[in-house]
Structure 1
Amino acid sequence: MSPIGPGRISLRSLAVVLLLSVGLLGAYWPQISPVILGQDQAQASEYTYIADLDFWQRTERETRVEARAHFSLDYDLREVPLQLGDWQGQEVPESNQEVIILLDPEQYVQRLYQNSRGQYIWLSLIGGRSSQPFHAPDICYDADGWQYNLSSTAFPLDGGGQIHGLWMEAHKQFPGDDFLTEHVVFYFYLFPNRNRELKDGIVLFKLTSVRYGTVEETLALHADFVRQLFSRATQP
């Protein structure tokens, strides 16, 4: 048997050291990646947008939000995940072509999400580079004969800060029904940057559900959904 020379011992030792180093790097990467790569690179999966209650004018509730999906018209809004925490979604294309003709959006996404408790939320994403696709949802409800209350609220996010939106509780008794149909709607607008120019695009983020328990309990359900897509909010 030929003896193992110093060169072979060094190579073997080097291989062992490299394997140990890779293992340690993998174990501690979440803690050290912000230091090595910088915070922005380490959080490359977070996308930053400006959120506000209104698209016509800037309000004092404007915030910078970090999102876990793209909400820019430079991307396909259908890339927003169908699986969001406990929520599983399915595409439900808009069947009323009059809506599409009236709004003429650049992108229009409509989905129905359900959680493990059997509760449903509709997600609507409407994107455009003109004012035509955007009008407050209460205008549609009012035109269709719904009675409603409109107010604003803020949902706290897991990483800090709050995202502000308008909410509406609407009810209507349809012909032949002996009960009221009740909806709770929460919505806000997203801009790719603080310039908020139409040419850069705007996305309306809207959630709609029936009322589950009280309005407050239903809004808490909406807040849980929002937190699956938005992690943190700061001053713009």
Structure 2
Amino acid sequence: MTPIHEDEHLLVLEKPSGLLSVPGRGPDKQDCLSKRVQDRYPDALIVHRLDQDTSGLLLMARGIEAQRRLSKLFETRQVKKRYVAVVAGQPEQTQAAELPDEDGWRTIDGPILLDWERRPLHIIHPDGKASRSRWRALQSSHSDNFSASLIELEPVTGRTHQLRVHMQSMGHPMLGDSLYAPPDIKALSPRLLLHAQELAFVHPFTEQALAFKAPVQWSALSPFIAGQHPLP
């Protein structure tokens, strides 16, 4: 797997949908992004993860010290992450009572808890960890039978499945989501329509400001995907 950026301290990669970030349980789940990268860069270490069905930008450290410094950036929320997704319905109408900021962003606050009886599903629950996401609409479509929206998302916190759970909790599951969308919404796309398209941070060794983009050509209009990232 070829990085889109590499230096002596870190790697920036673009993970395809369908590929695990790290090995799973069982011999059939050993192929993953981290193993593919480590075959070429033996010092590469995981700093954060993307869900298997999510595509997009992922950062890996080179060596223990780089992993420590990059992990600290994530812990202190100094890494800017921006996603794009296609969701069912019109979330702007759902959150119409909350006025957006000057750039069109609205906020979702909802504590997230693992649903132990239905794991790996997560739910909004008072006993969950405090979680916050920001989102804004880019495009909407509406017909007699179905409506959808192309949105940008920024996770303020970093909980498991956070963006998927927050949008589903508002009544707007992501198209192609095998965990949180009802069958008819899942069937609208051959993959989860969630992509990590922007990543920005200050290099923990050189102090250079770095920003990376991996845009996708998605739309709120059927068939929703203009260009896909096939699993190699």
TM-score normalised according to structure 1 size:
0.28
The structure with more radius of gyration: 1
TM-score normalised according to structure 2 size:
0.29
Greater percentage in helix: 1
